[in-house]
Amino acid sequence: MSKVLGGIALLLGLAPGLALASSEGGGGFINLDRSLLIQIVNFGLLLFFLWKFLYRPFLAKLDERSQAIKKSLSAAQAAQADAERQREEHRKQLQAAYAEAQSIREAALKEGAEEQRRVVEAARAEAGRLVEGARAEIEQDVRRARQELRQEVADLAVGAAERLIRKSLRGEEHRKIVTDAIAELERTP
């Protein structure tokens, strides 16, 4: 505003000089009569109205625009700071999620190893039970086979004794019956 007033004062100061210059040369740019004073007053009124109705609202609009820009800049800085804070928060959440995933993975691996150990132990125990069962069954089969063998031997012995009794007890026949019985025992599995 002071620049405008300075410009007006400069023009008002130059006006009489220009008027004098024109009156000396005859028919110059400005005449120094009453119309000059009216023109100066008119020019002053024009400057006043321009200043009041155009320049002041224009300055107010510029100031308002400047305030809006400052407000937008501060809002942008706040949004940028908020975005940075959220980015840091997300980074921390990602790190926490990664750490949690690692711990879950390690726990799963540990649990899997433990389950594998339990399955192997159960399989070994089952195999031991099966082996023991098979041994017991084999022993029982062996006992049964021995029992059957004893029964057969007894039957053969009784049969041999019957033959001996039926026949006379001559020495040669007796030896032949015993030899035949022994040969028959050897043939039976």
Q: Tell me: the pLDDT tens digits for 26-39?
A: 555 655 678 888 88
Give residue 53's domain range: 2-85
Q: Which two tokens stand for residue 163?
A: 């033959």
Final residue belonging to a domain, choices 37, 55, 85:
85
Cβ atoms of residues 134 and 126 within 8 Å:
no
120-177 residue pLDDT tens = 999 999 999 999 998 999 989 888 888 888 788 777 777 777 776 666 556 677 678 7
Final residue belonging to a domain, choices 42, 65, 85:
85
Which conformational region is residue 79 in: left (phi greater than 0), alpha (psi within -120 to 50 degrees), or beta? Answer: alpha
Question: Beta-carbon neighbour count of residue 80 at 10 Å?
Answer: 10
pLDDT for position 152:
80
Final residue belonging to a domain, choices 60, 85, 110:
85
| 71 confidence band (pLDDT: 50, 70, 90) | very high
Place of tokens 């062996």: 142
pLDDT for position 64:
94
Q: Which two tokens stand for residue 67?
A: 């305030």
Does pLDDT of 17 surpass 60?
A: no
Question: Beta-carbon neighbour count of residue 23 at 10 Å?
Answer: 14
Specify whether 9 is located in the same domain as 76: yes
Compute, in degrees rounded to 10, the torsion defined by CA atoms 33, 36, 37, 43. 170
Q: Indicate the pTM of the whole model.
A: 0.37
Structural domain count of the chain: 2
Does pLDDT of 54 surpass 80?
A: yes
